[in-house]
Amino acid sequence: MTDMKTLDMIFEPLGQMLTPAVARKFVAWRLDAKTQSRIDKLARKCNEGQLTDDERREYESFVRAIDFVSILQAKARQLLKPSAAVK
């Protein structure tokens, strides 16, 4: 099974639970400035090969969480497309 099919098996049912109002809020959601600043700092250090082991674990956790949120935001955008309302 491809990675995409596996992810769809998990995320498709979650996306179907979204109401239009929740989907709009989810699409608009952004990280707070302090958290974004921390991620930016870790990203710079990662690109320069200067992360400690603890920082690498922290950064990888952020990346996994952001990937999760991004997939759900994509599902929310899909729900909000005009053609999705016709279904």
pLDDT digit string (tens) for 32-50? 999 999 999 999 999 999 9
- Rounded CA gap, 41 and 54, in Å? 14
Q: What is the pTM of this model?
A: 0.78
Higher pLDDT, residue 10 or 44: 44
CB 84 within 8 A of CB 23: no
11 phi and psi, to 5 degrees?
A: -85, -25
